[in-house]
Amino acid sequence: MSHEKLDNIAWQTIIDRKRPERPPRGIEDGGRARDFGEIEALIRDGMSFDGAFESWLQEMYQYRQESFFAVPPSPFLAAHQRAWLAGVAEGMTRKLNLPVPYWVESPEFFLSDVYDWEQDALDIFFPSDWADLLDERLERSDPEFRRRRVIAKLRALIRV
């Protein structure tokens, strides 16, 4: 079975999952991050970017609500993190049949240089000629990331 078919099955499983009846608590109430602003608050409190994002991702997959994408990432985060989160927001909302947030089109969420999220996020060995393949790898990235000059794919964020 192809990656695309497996991904489609995973996304449909996520979409079909029953949502909790109670609203998301958020970090102020001892819950997980409900939006990108709460991701930033967790980072300010000492959590790593990856840990804060995973908190948001787990909660977002439970609730799958437009509100999880409503707050754009602020300049508190690095430009490459903001561009990557804009790609996440655009791609996830499309996959989950939610409205794409207006803010993802702002120029501040687009990079002039390529950012290799895969190399940063995936703790694996990259061959010495990997940098020579940036253009090719960028071309294979999902369009929501590629147009922001970020090497990434949504499939790396699937949690079923």
Residue 132 has pLDDT above 90, yes or no: no
The pLDDT of residue 121: 63
Burial of 19 (0-12, 13-18, 19+ CB in 10 A): exposed
| Pairwise CA distance, residues 153 & 118, whole Å | 8
| Pairwise CA distance, residues 109 & 120, whole Å | 18
pLDDT per residue over 77-128, tens digit each?
999 999 999 999 999 999 999 999 999 999 999 999 999 887 766 656 666 6
Which SS3 state, helix, strand or coil, does residue 151 take?
A: strand
Residue 45 has pLDDT above 90, yes or no: yes
The pLDDT of residue 61: 94
Joined together, the tokens standing for residue 27 give: 């970090």
Joined together, the tokens standing for residue 83 give: 């561009």
Least confident of 43-47, 129-133, 140-144, 147-151: 129-133
The pLDDT of residue 142: 92
Kindly list the domain boundaries of the chain, sorted by start residue: 3-107
The pLDDT of residue 8: 86
Residue 44 has pLDDT above 70, yes or no: yes
Averaged pLDDT for residues 7-33? 89
Averaged pLDDT for residues 70-83? 97
